[in-house]
Structure 1
Amino acid sequence: MKRRHKVAVQTSLFSISLISTCIAPYSNIVAAPPRTPDKTVNCEILVVGGGLSGVATAYEGLLAGRTVCLLEITDWLGGQISSQGTSALDERPTQRSLQFYSRGYLELRDRIRRKYGELNPGNCWVSDSCFLPHDAHTILTQMLLDAEKRGKGKLQWFPNTVIKELEISPDGKIINGAIAIQHQPAKGAPSINTFPLSQTIEDAYTYQNSSQFTKSIIHLVPKEVKTKAPKWYVVDTSETGEIIALADVPYRLGIDGRSYLEPSASGATNDPYCTQGFTYTFAMEATKEPQPQTMPPFYLQYSPYFSYELSRLANFDLVFTYRRIWSPTKGQPAKFGGVSFTAPTPGDISMQNWTWGNDYRPGTPADNLIYTRQQLQATGQLNPGGWMGGLRTESLRKAEENALSFYYWLVAGTTDSQLGPGVKQPQPNNRLLTGINSPMGTVHGLSKYPYMREGRRIIGRPSWGQPGGFGIWEIDISRRDYNDEYYRKTLPADMYRQLKAALAGLEAVSVIEGKIPPDQAMRRTRSTIFPDAVGIGHYAIDFHPCMVQSPPETPGNTEHPGERRGAGQAYPFQIALRAMIPQKIDNLLVGGKSIATSHIAAAAYRVHSFEWSAGAAAGTVAAFALKNAVAPYQLVDNLPQPEPQLEALKRLLEKNGNPTAFPDTSIFNQNWENWK
């Protein structure tokens, strides 16, 4: 059986040695060769990652009548709203009021409402919909089963499963097969969700059976059909871009250097180690009586980090109700810092996801969570059989400790790293919800997988205007005022002119030619309109920046300077098909957070409805490509010239109820300021 072909890239011995000193090596990084696969499974669409984008990909593939193989490292579907615990839908008011979403996302919202009799059973104030994570998995499972029946497709669902190897053609253009490992509890071992991820992830990626797990080796291959076009499509909807790393296609990670496309970047050069913070969420219940609270043995290490962050947020009831996911009895009206909410009552359940709390925000070569390509090389993960998921296990472990410590701070802490003494008061009438039947579905009480805000992001194929590879950038979506003195002083004159020209809309050519001074050009008040738009999204550019020192909980540590400069409001935006097509491999599509966006744009392109829209596009594109025997890159390779098949795809998306543009999108429509 032919294994994946690794593309050789020169790296100096000094670089590898330097990187290696910052990485804890795996105990068994080059796993033993697998036994003969236990079974071979045929797929038309292989979806790797069961988050919202992966579910949406499968949903559309099944409705199109295709055989969909869906793999997920946990045993729950839904990612953000289930296994990651962030079951509070991030939405913007105008889009929500118009109900302008993909058809599957609308169905999801409707099923939540039918499940509880209301959309917001938690009566939270961050969203119009806060609910229990384990219910999200049940709802999404039924959605896929119903889609399978309606579309006459076939769903092959593989929970607790990871991709270990790819079989790539000698020319490097086609993924011919994949080897997956599915794990179940070994005989006499505890249930699958007994231990946190840091204690199981390395085992999950090794072929051998262990005291924890019994492994099943699965060979995933396309159906045999006579065609010169790809026989199947692999869609990477994993949380960190695992398949794009394993396939070794070009990608970015962390901060992009400052340019006219990314003028608010926090550095002049790239910084791949500074990705947004990730979070192990947990659920806590308000109780009538004080509960015994046990200080974790590691609490004092992490307590210097915790804070309410801002004076207007320094109220426990406000924080508790922020993402309250269950509220059987409505409390009395309350208000703090200008926010109205109902006070917690016994039996209320809150999900915690707090920046200066259970966010863990490493940002140096010594502690970054998502390994760079050089780090993957240094640890042997790009060698055949060496893939171990591409994450630093030690940072997962410390994030778990940090989250458990934050719970203790909430109920017993009296310090505040940002606001000083006298602000935080103990709140003992609460308990951490643990156990298989708890909202997070784990014995330890933390989410099964951390909530990931940012992963590896592909660099699209060269395109007109972006010869180095297509991407969606800050200026494509941001509402920021670039007449601000900061940009005049910080950006070189040529870069500032390029920025103003790129934002000038119909006056761009005149600015470039010098006929109009940059400061006199009228700025477009909309996002970039993409001719190959296949989906939509709208959210603010929202940052949870990495920390300067290692480890993140170092007393007095600060956020990476300038990271929040790019934060702010965004116009309603589109998902370009070019942002979903990686370089080199023709039958790989990318959904979710790993599409070709910049570091700043990714801070908006990461929320629930966007993930669904990107997945709906990926599933539709894959089914369309199979039906019409055309590779996705061929739909966009002649842009900006007309592309008839691309137009047919867009008509199909719209017909199916998957919008590709917001109402009245036009280069002549500048009335987007009212979109909230």
Structure 2
Amino acid sequence: MDVYIAGGGVGGVAAALAAAKQGLQVAMTEETDWIGGQFTSQAVPPDEHLWIESFGCTASYREFRDRVRGYYKTQFPVTPEARADKLLNPGSAIVSRLAHEPKVSLHVLEDMLAPYVHSGRVRVFTMHKPIAAEKSGHEVTSVTVEHVKTKQPIRFTAPYILDATELGELLPITNTAYVTGAESKQDTGEPHALDGPADPLDMQAITQILAMDIAPGEDNVIERPEEYGFWKKHHSDFWPGPQLSWTAIQPPTLKHIEYGLYQGEGTFPLWPYRRIIDPTHFRGELYRGDISLMNWPQTDYWLGPVLEVSEESSAHHLYMAKQLSLSFLYWMQTEAPNYSGGKGYPELRLRKDVVGTSDGIAKYAYIRESRRIKAKFTVVEQHITGDTRPEGFTDTVGIGAYHIDLHPSTGQRNYIDFKAWPFQIPLGSLIPEETENLLPACKNIGTTHITNGSYRLHPVEWNIGESAGLLAAFCIRENKRPAEVYENKDLLTSFQDQLKAEGVELEWPEIRQI
């Protein structure tokens, strides 16, 4: 085996594809029974930039997007208009240009991996989680995983180890230096960093996402959640109203806003925001009603972190985050002002089948912030913001674009949301300070709490994973270490040529901030 990848999320799948296409033997483990991470087990439609339909992502990510649309057009009874629409958005969502069902992402990703799985070049072990590692000097020599239910262990050895886990789980068990939480201004010079000391436990909120549809005339009220009483009373000091209410924050301005559920209700309708099925695209009344995902301001959980704490504390916060999402659904069904003079929307139906779980909550929490390696180079706010466009990175291994978008944090701080320039992914941010053969392959690269807010989105995570997989292949072929590629101009140029040959865009045209 040439490469072991821990984590089968967006970055992990992209890394496995990239390495396999280069002829490497790959093993990839995934904690849940679905590969795909944000797309699937976390139930988050792709958050993307303004130019995604034309440029600004890797060729393989574009292939993924094309395959999603193609799956609906060839396998579903879509309308003639939908079939002819080159930019079909199955959910007609506000936030995503390609809002679609998690199971469709799962199907597409498995299809993309299929040639390499069938040939034996890629082995995928779902329901497995890293638990231990061995190291010799600055090199990881093995990683041991265990089945999450049977606890049966498997030991992997490979020249290159990639961490694509949602929480950066290989970093502590391999003794790879890392940081967590919020840095201080004194450490990074970032205008939006903490004024006081750094706080390693101040991390972005997580969200436990659920799916709903609309069944008019039906009473689909769920059983009252166990912690409904707690959430009904809860009101964080920095938040403008009770957690279970339409009152929330408009992120960029921090002004109070009254959300509504459906179009025409409140200042902003939540239902179409992350809608993943719009029935008007389909023939024969295939879907009874819209399907939408609850990933809204009111369901962000910020009462405590789920990493760098005890297992008991982490489990408690994950449970309470689930209870928050279920409580908000119950509140909407039974008590929410419905803008018709009454209370409740009992027609909302929890769709457990959409996320593939018995409780209706996605298989894994939506994790916005991970452990981050202490890298040869760390991207700070000044590298991607400012009145004039900052200089790019000569060691670019990809690109991305998204405003700096930090949700409320476990430090009880409000949104940090402001414009950023389209950016590059520097190779230095993928190279740990000391560990020689471990590479980050998702949102655990060398960013800060602030810049993670831009680098954590789907196409960027895919690009990071793909570039990490290609870097492992390049290093094996050239018999070099990643740090040597970073430090040697000729090797770097050769690697960047390979990236471009594989369809990885390295530079942006002259475009504006977003």
Output the TM-score relative to the length of structure 2: 0.87
Which position in structure 2 is the counterpart of 1:91?
A: 48
- Residues 233 and 404 from structure 1, CA distance in 2 versus in 1: closer, same or farther, beyond 3 angstroms? same
Deviations along 1:291-332, whole A, 9 cap, x unmatched?
14132232111123223315655221121111111122369x
Matched, 1:403 2:325: yes
2:398 to 509, 527, 535: 535
Aligned match of 1:354 in 296, 299, 306? 296
User: Hey, what's the Cα distance between the residues in 2 that align with 1:120 and 1:581?
Assistant: 37
3-state SS of 2:99 partner: coil
Letter in 2 for 1:395: H
Give per-residue Cα distances to partners, 1:544-579, cap 9 Å, x unaligned: 11255xxxxxxxxxx41xx54x52111111111111
Shift in Å, 1:272: 1.1
Residue 662 of structure 1 and its aligned partner are, at CA, apart by 1.6
SS of match in other structure, 1:164: strand
Aligned residues: 473
In our comparison, the structure showing a higher alpha carbon Rg is 1
Equivalent position of 1:457 in the other structure: 372
SS at match of 1:98: coil
Q: How far off its partner does 1:527 sit? A: 3.7
Counterpart position of 1:101? 57
Identity of counterpart residues, as a percentage?
A: 31
Q: What 5-or-longer segments of structure 2 have no aligned partner?
A: 74-81, 83-87, 235-242, 250-255, 263-268
What residue number does 1:166 align with?
A: 133
- 1:218-229 matches, within 5 Å, as 218-222=154-158
Q: Do the aligned partners of residues 114 and 594 (structure 1) sit closer, same or farther apart at CA in structure 2, a change above 3 Å counting?
A: same
Whole-Å separation in 2 of the counterparts to 1:330 and 1:534: 38
Is the 8 Å Cα contact of residues 397 and 427 (structure 2) preserved in structure 1?
A: yes
Compute the displacement of 1:405 (Å): 0.8
Change (3 A) 1:391 1:589: farther
* Alpha-carbon distance in 1 for matches of 2:372, 2:245: 31
Tell me how far apart the structure 1 counterparts of residues 151 and 341 of structure 2 sit (CA, whole Å): 50
Residue by residue over 1:577-619, the C-alpha shift from the partner in whole angstroms, topping out at 9 and shown as x without a partner, is 1111112211000121100001110001000100110011001
Aligned residue for 2:131, secondary structure, equals: strand
- Kindly indicate whether residue 294 of structure 2 is the aligned counterpart of residue 327 of structure 1: no
Partner of 2:385: 478
2:102 aligned partner:
133
Q: 1:298 aligns with which of 227, 245, 254?
A: 227
1:145 aligns with 2:114: yes
Say if 1:526 and 1:672, in contact at 8 Å, map to a contact too: no
CA contact (8 A) 2:441 2:461 kept: yes
Distance 1:614 1:115 in 2: 26
- 2:143 corresponds to which residue? 178
Are the counterparts in 2 of residues 280 and 447 from structure 1 also a CA contact under 8 Å? yes
Distance 2:360 2:131 in 1: 28
Alpha-carbon distance in 2 for matches of 1:580, 1:67: 21
Letter of the aligned partner of 1:315 in structure 2?
Answer: G
Tell me if structure 2 keeps the 8 A contact 1:314–1:423: no
Provide the rounded CA distance (Å) in 1 between the counterparts of 2:465 and 2:430. 10
Q: CA deviation at 1:635?
A: 1.2
> What's the CA shift for 1:146?
3.3
Residues 588-607 of structure 1: matches in 2 within 5 Å? 588-607=438-457
Corresponding residue SS for 1:589? strand
Question: SS where residue 307 of structure 2 aligns?
Answer: coil
Structure 1: which 4+ aligned runs deviate by more than 3 Å?
Answer: 146-149, 310-313, 421-425
Amino acid in the other structure paired with 1:302: W
**Aligned equivalents of 1:424, 1:649: Cα separation in 2:** 63
Residues 424/628 of structure 1: CA separation in 2 closer, same or farther (3 Å cut): farther
Separation of aligned partners in 1, 2:406 and 2:431? 26
CA drift at 1:108: 0.6
Q: For 1:314 and 1:178, how far apart are their aligned partners in 2?
A: 47
8 A Cα contact 1:281 1:351, kept in partner = yes
SS in 1 for 2:289: coil
Alignment of 1:407-446 (within 5 A): 407-414=329-336, 425-434=343-352, 438-446=353-361
CA distance in structure 2 between the partners assigned to 1:295 and 1:570 by the alignment: 42
Helix, strand or coil: the match of 1:392?
Answer: helix
Displacement of 1:415 in angstroms is: 7.7
* 1:408-457 alpha-carbon deviations (Å, 9 max, x no partner): 122223389xxxx99994111111112xxx11010111000001000111
Q: Which secondary structure state, in structure 2, belongs to the residue aligned with residue 46 of structure 1?
A: strand
Moved more, 445-454 or 346-355: 346-355
The residue correspondences of 1:614-633 to structure 2 (distance < 5 A) are 614-633=464-483
Q: Give the distance between the partners of 1:428 and 1:330, measured in 2 at CA.
A: 25
Asked if the contact 1:65–1:148 (Cα under 8 Å) also holds between the matched residues in 2, the reply is no
Aligned equivalents of 1:443, 1:215: Cα separation in 2: 22
Map 1:426-575; keep pairs closer than 5 Å.
426-434=344-352, 438-461=353-376, 470-479=377-386, 525-547=388-410, 559-560=412-413, 564=415, 566-575=416-425
> How many Å apart are 1:267 and its aligned residue?
2.8
Cα deviation code 1:166-221 (max 9, x no counterpart)? 0111x2x1111111112xxxxxxxxxxxxxxxxxxxxx3xxxxxxxx333321212
1:79 aligns with 2:37: yes
Aligned position for 1:652: 498
Q: Is the 8 A contact 1:108 1:140 kept in 2?
A: yes
Kindly provide the amino acid, as one letter, of the partner of residue 307 in structure 1: S
Amino acid at match of 1:181: E
Give 1:63-78 correspondences, 5 Å limit: 63-78=21-36
Cα distance in 2 between the residues matched to 1:645 and 1:274: 38
Q: What is the CA–CA distance in structure 2 between the aligned matches of 1:447 and 1:403, rounded to whole Å?
A: 11
**Residue 329 of structure 1: SS of its match in structure 2?**
helix
Give the aligned partner of residue 61 of structure 1.
19
**Secondary structure, aligned partner of 1:611:** helix
d(CA) in 2 for partners of 1:543, 1:477:
15
Report whether the alignment pairs 1:577 with 2:427: yes
How far off its partner does 1:391 sit?
A: 7.3
SS at match of 1:50: coil
Which residue number in structure 1 is paired with residue 237 of structure 2?
A: none
Q: 1:644 is paired with a residue of what secondary structure? A: helix
Output the CA distance in 2 between the equivalents of 1:634 and 1:588: 14
What is the rounded CA distance, in whole Å, between the counterparts of 1:147 and 1:451 in structure 2?
Answer: 28
